[in-house]
Structure 1
Amino acid sequence: MYIVIAGGGIAGSSLAAELVNRKHDVVVVDRDREACEDVYAETGAVAVHGSATDVAVLKQAGIEKADVAIGAMYRDTDNLTFALLARSFGVPRLIVKMRDPAYTEAYRVAGVDAVCNMIEMFRHRVVAEIENPHIRVLTRLEGADAQLVMFAFPENRGSVRIRDLAQLPAFRQNCVFAGILRPGERTIVMPRGDDEVPPGATVFAVVTPGHLGAISAFLGEGTGPGDGA
């Protein structure tokens, strides 16, 4: 895909490197000439020097043929302007990094397809790490009160079938098992009822946020909300 990224800072350059590694055609636009030179040297992505809110610069970056446009600049005002311009050029998919939640509605009106709310992501990750340090939240499911999480099945418990695990109080409600990565293996198994979860296996599950405390209690690790020492 042809992807234009507005902003060659830490977020934009690291994203460019990942997308180039995945064989996408990437162009990064930044008003800082040194940042452009660094992006090209470190990622191999094409770098265009100039403002991503300037129509002429965007045309130079090939915005008219872009499949995806990504706003990764520091200020929401710049990302919003970039998104509006990209949409006017007919870019089919717009993604932005949002710092200030006050811009949520503005991005929606601008037709942005996906908004990465940095403050919300930070808040949820920190709270999860404090209350349930041995459960890793991988992502929140957009439009649903649910999260994809992973955790290590305790070494001090014997192997258990998925169907039996699902009947335990900690997993009986608001939890769907999505995958099992057994020790020493590299392939995630999509679990069925008779599949076994051995000690030390990594388990992937979709759960509601309020259910993490119950899973932590089962694991014998972490401190769910309200569990004082």
Structure 2
Amino acid sequence: MYVVVAGINSMSKRLVKKLEGNHDVVAVDADKDKCDRLYSSSGATVINKSPTTISALEDAGIEKADVLIAAEKEDNENMVVCTLAKKYGVPKVVTRVEDDEYVDAFQIIDAQPISHNDILLSEFLSTVEHPYLVKLANLKGDLELVKASVKESSELEDRTVDEIEKMKKFPQSFEITSVLRDEEKVEDVELRENDQLIMIGPEKDKEKLDSFFQSQ
């Protein structure tokens, strides 16, 4: 896909580096130092212009973009960027939102708002309420992708994935999709200490899953 990122900051820099291996990525920002640093540390095309201007977005190839990500600091600037992107027919427009009062306005112009505060709140709550799980992603249908580790002297050691899923206290609504050992995926193995289990299941049953790993 062809992705235009409007605004360079710590979040969008990480995003660019994650995307650039599989997509054509162009970043736009008015700050020359930010542009120079991103250019030197990534393979993305970088344009030193204000992304709120038509000329900057045209230089970025907005007319062929599949996705535009508005990551400016100010919501009103992101509103301008998103409005211009929709004018050029960009199919998918996503924007960072600082003030929740802007959420409805972005939705009216068919831009997908992502509230920084909502993400932080969700992550903090997940950490506090489910300390034995690490949330990796939200999926469709209220599903979540989560990770848990095999503790030292755990009763899960020397068991297989099939055996764990059949244990009485393991919630049947969750599925173990893979096992990571030393950051590498392994299959059909008996578990060891520090192995990480990647699982998919409904958010409503995370408390049961957390309790399972707490008691392992």
Partners of 2:97 and 2:186 lie apart in 1 by 33
Residue 130 in structure 1 maps to residue 123 in structure 2: no
2:69 and 2:95 in contact (8 A); partners too:
yes
The alpha-carbon deviation at position 70 of structure 1 amounts to 1.1
Partner of 1:120: 118
Superposition deviation, residue 138 in structure 1? 0.3
| Structure 1 residue 71 displacement after superposition | 0.8
* Amino acid corresponding to residue 142 of structure 2 in structure 1: D
Q: Residue in 1 aligned with 2:208?
A: 214
2:184 — aligned with what?
Answer: 186
**Contact 1:141/1:147 (CA < 8 Å) preserved in 2?**
yes
The aligned counterpart of 1:151 is 148
In structure 1, stretches of 5+ residues that fail to align are 190-194, 223-229
1:153 touches 1:197 (CA, 8 Å); kept in 2?
Answer: no
Match for 2:146: what amino acid? V
State yes or no: 1:99 paired with 2:98: yes
User: Over the residues paired in the alignment, what is the CA RMSD in angstroms?
Assistant: 2.7
Alpha carbons of 1:76 and 1:169: their partners in 2 closer, same or farther (altered >3 Å)?
Answer: farther
What is the aligned-residue identity percentage?
25
Query: Could you say if the C-alpha distance between residues 180 and 5 of structure 1 is closer, same or farther in structure 2, counting changes exceeding 3 Å?
Result: same
Instruction: Give a deviation string over 1:74-116, Cα, whole Å, max 9, x none.
Output: 122222221221121122222222333333333332223x543
- 1:221 CA displacement: 6.2
Equivalent AA in structure 2 for residue 18 of structure 1: K
Name stretches of at least 5 consecutive residues in structure 2 with no aligned partner: none
Q: Cα distance, 1:188 vs. partner? A: 4.9
Amino acid at match of 1:205: M
Match of 2:38, SS state, is helix
The answer for the alignment partner of 1:198 in structure 2 is: 191
Match of 2:27?
Answer: 28
Q: Is the 8 A contact 2:133 2:148 kept in 1?
A: yes
- Give the CA deviation at 1:37: 2.3
1:134–1:221 CA contact under 8 A, matched in 2: no
Deviations 1:161-198 (A, max 9, x none): 444433434323432322223x4582254xxxxx5652
Deviation by residue 1:128-175 (Cα, 9 ceiling, x = unmatched):
222332311101124x32211010134421433444433434323432
Tell whether the 8 Å contact from 2:171 to 2:205 is kept in structure 1 after alignment.
no
Question: How many pairs are equivalent?
Answer: 213
CA distance in 2, matches of 1:221, 1:117: 35
Aligned to 1:192: none
Q: Give the Å deviation of 1:56.
A: 2.1
Secondary structure at the aligned position of 2:210 is classed as helix
- Select the residue among 137, 147, 157 that pairs with 1:139: 137
Q: Using structure 2 for the length normalisation, give the TM-score.
A: 0.82
TM-score when scaled to structure 1? 0.78
